[in-house]
């Protein structure tokens, strides 16, 4: 919906390729019927997070490639794509820096209560609430992929202890960067701050449910910039109400737009799925997604 909003380079690339194209005119995420209507004759699609379900893909008979401007491909029915020779491309490296920066912003916001103090001052109330230093804390990274590793490398510079859990640990990287891989339960028990960066392949499975949250340290801060379905919201709210969870930073939600119970808590920082929404990263993603699509289609002779 924001294609070419931050620069004309993607359009220039399409024009130079002499390809026939159309752009989402609605200014919002397309629903299934609109994808089919717009893409019925398309051989390639530059995609966001709109749903490319089995139902949708069956009605796009000419489609040869979906090129994601972003990293997640869980909105695409990969089984159908593989069976019918539809190539899936994404832009995994471009999204790293903006997600790292948003994660850090949420951590500092919760520690120093900047949003909380801003709300107080805008309410004409001069009241100070003590915060906490980041230095000396233990930060647990759940999912040490590209983004998780980059966050760990950044946090180490702030004199924190970083522990990580990943099903495919990279021991040399951990040793080189002073990061310790630990078991999942040990991470939950020892981390002052837990940040989720798991790849969105199993988005229907809670990573943090009631049992997991109960194992965490009292006052733990939880950051989620991965997928909203990774946390059981009811259990999270219960933890916030009891004080067991000290604060939450959320950029992703099970259903978006989000209007749920997390909006009622003062110690929760919420953003509307803006993890990759910087002008620089969006333009880079769109340029790379456009180039990926054209390279694939021309390689296939389309």
Q: Which residues does the annotation mark as catalytic?
A: 227, 256, 273
Q: Are strands 87-89 and 138-142 parallel, antiparallel or unpaired?
A: unpaired
Kindly give, in sequence order, each residue whose CB lies less than 8 Å from that of residue 164, ignoring residues fewer than 6 positions away: 140, 141, 142, 144, 148, 152, 174, 179, 180, 181, 182, 187
User: Nearest Cα to 57, choosing from 88, 29, 26?
Assistant: 88
User: Nearest Cα to 235, choosing from 199, 167, 188, 166?
Assistant: 188
Cα–Cα distance, 51 to 57 (Å, whole number): 10
**HEC secondary structure over 209-234:** CHHHHHHCCCCEEEEECCCHHHECHH
Cα–Cα distance, 86 to 65 (Å, whole number): 5
Phi, psi of 67 (to 5 degrees): -110, 110
Residue 30, number of CB atoms within 10 A of its CB = 19
Q: Are strands 180-181 and 268-270 parallel, antiparallel or unpaired?
A: unpaired
Give Cα 181 distance to the centre of its chain.
22
Identify the bridge partners of residue 141 per DSSP, sorted by sequence position: 164, 195
């Amino acid at each position: 919906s924001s294609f070419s909003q931050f620069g004309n380079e993607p359009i220039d690339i399409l024009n130079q390729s002499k390809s026939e194209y159309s752009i989402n005119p609605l200014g919002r995420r397309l629903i299934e019927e609109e994808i089919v209507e717009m893409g019925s004759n398309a051989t390639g699609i530059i995609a966001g997070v709109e749903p490319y379900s089995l139902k949708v893909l069956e009605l796009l008979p000419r489609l040869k490639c979906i090129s994601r401007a972003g990293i997640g491909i869980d909105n695409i029915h990969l089984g159908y794509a593989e069976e019918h020779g539809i190539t899936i491309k994404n832009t995994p490296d471009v999204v790293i820096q903006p997600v790292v920066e948003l994660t850090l912003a949420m951590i500092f916001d919760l520690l120093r209560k900047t949003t909380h103090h801003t709300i107080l001052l805008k309410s004409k109330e001069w009241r100070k609430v003590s915060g906490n230093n980041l230095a000396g804390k233990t930060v647990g990274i759940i999912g040490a992929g590209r983004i998780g590793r980059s966050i760990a490398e950044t946090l180490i510079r702030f004199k924190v202890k970083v522990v990580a859990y990943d099903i495919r640990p990279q021991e040399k990287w951990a040793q080189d960067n002073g990061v310790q891989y630990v078991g999942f339960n040990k991470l939950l028990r020892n981390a002052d701050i837990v940040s989720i960066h798991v790849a969105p392949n199993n988005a229907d499975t809670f990573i943090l449910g009631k049992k997991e949250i109960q194992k965490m340290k009292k006052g733990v801060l939880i950051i989620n910039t991965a997928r909203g379905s990774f946390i059981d919201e009811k259990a999270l709210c219960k933890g916030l109400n009891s004080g067991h969870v000290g604060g939450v930073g959320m950029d992703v939600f099970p259903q978006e737009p989000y209007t749920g119970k997390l909006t009622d808590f003062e110690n929760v920082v919420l953003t509307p799925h803006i993890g990759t929404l910087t002008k620089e990263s969006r333009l880079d993603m769109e340029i790379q997604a456009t180039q990926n699509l054209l390279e694939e289609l021309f390689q296939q002779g389309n």
